[in-house]
Amino acid sequence: MANAHDLDAHLQLRHDERKLQGSLRIGPKVPLSELTAHAVRVFLEARGVGDRYIDKQAVQTLIETVHSAPGTEQEAIVARGRPPRDGERRILEWTPRIAERIAEINARKELIETDQAKPNQHKIPGEDEPDAVDHYSHSAFIIVAAGETLGTVTPPDPGEDGEDIFGGCVPARKSPMPAEIDTDSLALLPDHRLVAKVAGRLIFSGGTRAVETTLTVSGDVGFSAGHIDFPGPVHVEGGVKDRFRVVAHGTLTIRKLVEASFLQSTRDIVLERGVAGREVATISAGRHVESGYLESATITTMGDCIVKREITNCELRARGSVRIPTGAIRGGTVAAANTIEVGTLGSAQEVVTEILAGSIPELDGLLARVNELILEAQNKRRLVSERNAHLFKDEQGKNPQLIERRMGVEFELSELDGHIKSLQHAARRLEENIRANTAPRVVVTQKVFPGVAIYMRGHRITFKSETKGPFTLRVNSQGRPVVDTGAIQPTDAGTIAEVKPSDRVPRLPVPDDQTAPNADAQQDRAMPAA
């Protein structure tokens, strides 16, 4: 038990974590006759509290309070250190471009949230109102380039250290950053510039500043998101509304419906649901396209096109294969350099459906044009040659004028011969390129309806009646369409359909070198990776 006359036993010093304030607790049984301001200062100094930190007035007030209410416990702050001045928060000032885009995005978001911006997506902006805002041109994302300066951060403020009640140093806290800076995607340079280390979407709100190299759209690509042109992969949790564009320099994945829009990717396009394009949608992939279904759209892919259910009224060009083994192709035109594998071709309504097997349209067209030029040059040469023969027949002797005319004709013939030779060389190179990168084959697992035409290297195969599968159409080593039905030997395609000549997919000459790749060897060859 504390001695009633032992003053120190009734006093207790407390302080906060940083020791910037000291409070004195006085017990209820303190001997009042010994409780003086001097005695309290001696107590505090004995515990290390510097005299200059003691609040004399607070000590005197506390003593008076104890004397006025004897028998009660009292406590008050009686010592105060010198607080440090912490560094001021650093401020990020965006560049004018970034600041302007942030303002645009925030203003647009506010309009949408207050229900003031609901344009009709089926109406072309500005048709009836020349000065109307083009809502389609809006983008909810800020895309930055690698190495781009995004803003500057004010220099750090060192602050000023303080002192605690015991005379110790209380370090000033460093200047906090305006937000957490993701060092993987952003760099704060010694000159205080904030620079993007990678290309992508700038995260400018919340507690972190960063650049995302994959763009994730939580909803639809519509008026809230605007057009997208992103330097990396894009993942859309919703769909893509009419008239909006999505361009991705990486894999583009869309979970829900794609409407009459424009999609482009340097790599794969994955459409988990499908496309209802209303003859407007355009899809272009640097590698492969995968989709649940494709309807009324134009599709170009440098690799394969893989569809689960159906391809309806589409213009489809694939540099690889088209595979829809249990689904259907109805209407439109489907062209592939290699295999076209399908469950059902055409429909009971005999809708016109065109299949171009072994076709690379841009090379086919170029080869056709070169062959036209060869024919034109050959016809011109024949005319010039006939004119030269006429000169030899009708005019004799060594007339200088005649000799000069004959020399001119011979020079023209030489020029034409060189031109024809160059064109023929170009044609051979194109033919070699087409032959090396195509393997025309159509695999039907279920049936083909009338109204279907299949074009294969100089031939048109037309189905006049319903033909059941499974069977495979291909071109043999002699360039003739044949059908494999599981028999030991393939038979002529004319046994199941009408076969006629056609230049829709140009015929390729049979290579003189029998070691060159032919259709029989090519049919199971995989298309090189795009």
Number of structural domains in the chain:
5
Task: Categorize the per-residue pLDDT at 120 as very low, low, confident or very high, splitting at 50, 70 and 90.
Answer: very low
Asked whether residue 87 is assigned to any structural domain, the reply reads no
Residues 356 and 222 in one domain: yes
Asked whether residue 128 is assigned to any structural domain, the reply reads no
Dihedral angle at the C-alpha atoms of 414, 415, 418, 423, nearest 10 degrees? Answer: -140
Task: Categorize the per-residue pLDDT at 501 as very low, low, confident or very high, splitting at 50, 70 and 90.
Answer: very high
Question: Cβ contacts of residue 405 below 8 Å, gap of 6+?
Answer: 391
Residue that terminates a domain, selected from 148, 183, 212: 212
Residues 198 and 258 in one domain: no
Residues 423 and 492 in one domain: no
Residues 25 and 41 in one domain: yes
Task: Categorize the per-residue pLDDT at 289 as very low, low, confident or very high, splitting at 50, 70 and 90.
Answer: very high
Residues 402 and 494 in one domain: no
Query: Global pTM?
Result: 0.76
Residue that terminates a domain, selected from 191, 212, 233: 212
Q: Does 2 have pLDDT greater than 80?
A: no
No. of H helices and E strands in the chain?
Answer: 6, 34
Asked whether residue 292 is assigned to any structural domain, the reply reads yes
Residues 298 and 393 in one domain: no
Write out the residue range of the structural domain in which residue 156 sits: 92-121+135-212
Asked whether residue 528 is assigned to any structural domain, the reply reads no
Asked whether residue 256 is assigned to any structural domain, the reply reads yes
Residues 230 and 358 in one domain: yes
Residues 404 and 463 in one domain: no
Residues 201 and 308 in one domain: no
pLDDT tens for 346-360 read 999 999 999 999 999
- pLDDT value of residue 127: 43
Residues 223 and 241 in one domain: yes
Contact 144, 203 (CB under 8 A): no
- pLDDT value of residue 111: 76
Asked whether residue 245 is assigned to any structural domain, the reply reads yes
Mean pLDDT of the chain: 88
CA angle 222, 228, 230 (to 5 degrees): 155
Residues 192 and 236 in one domain: no
Neighbours of 301 (CB within 10 A): 26
Q: Tokens 């190495």 correspond to what residue?
A: 147
Asked whether residue 401 is assigned to any structural domain, the reply reads yes
pLDDT tens for 75-107 read 999 999 999 999 999 999 999 999 999 999 988
For residues 278-307, average pLDDT: 97
Task: Categorize the per-residue pLDDT at 270 as very low, low, confident or very high, splitting at 50, 70 and 90.
Answer: very high
Residue that terminates a domain, selected from 179, 212, 245: 212
> How many angstroms separate the CA atoms of 300 and 240, rounded?
18
Residues 302 and 400 in one domain: no
Asked whether residue 475 is assigned to any structural domain, the reply reads yes
